[in-house]
Amino acid sequence: MDTVAPQSSGSEPHDGPGAPSGDFEEALRTMVLGLAPRQFAVVQTWEAGDGQRDGCVAAWGVAYEDGHAQLTSPDGSLRFTLGSPEGAVRWFGVQPGVTARIVWLSGPDRVAAA
């Protein structure tokens, strides 16, 4: 388990006399961003005619550090767990003429949001 060195011996969990310093807050933010699961979409595409392609978001997913992924349908009615995000590509790309791929919502560097 990753931890951040404590900054005070105060018992206050939030803002108050024992509130963490800016350096500690940055260390916490870095730890959280480094451990956060990565979000992705599984998109399906198909030939729509006249050389045009169409597509949709087939599922939303979260990939965890140990490699497994949890997915949910766009309407939230279906949920399942797979051994890897790549398994979703195989799962959603089985229909003839339909291809599936993963679109990551953030890069592996996990740029911090303000």
For residue 42, the model assigns a pLDDT of 97
Beta-bridge partner residues of 86 = none
**What percentage of the chain has pLDDT greater than the value 70?**
75
d(CA 92, CA 87): 9
Nearest to residue 90, comparing CAs of 38, 39, 44, 40? 44
For residue 34, the model assigns a pLDDT of 86
User: What digits encode the pLDDT tens for the residues 12-31?
Assistant: 455 555 555 788 999 999 99
pLDDT under 70 in the chain at which residues? Answer: 1-20, 107-114
For residue 48, the model assigns a pLDDT of 92
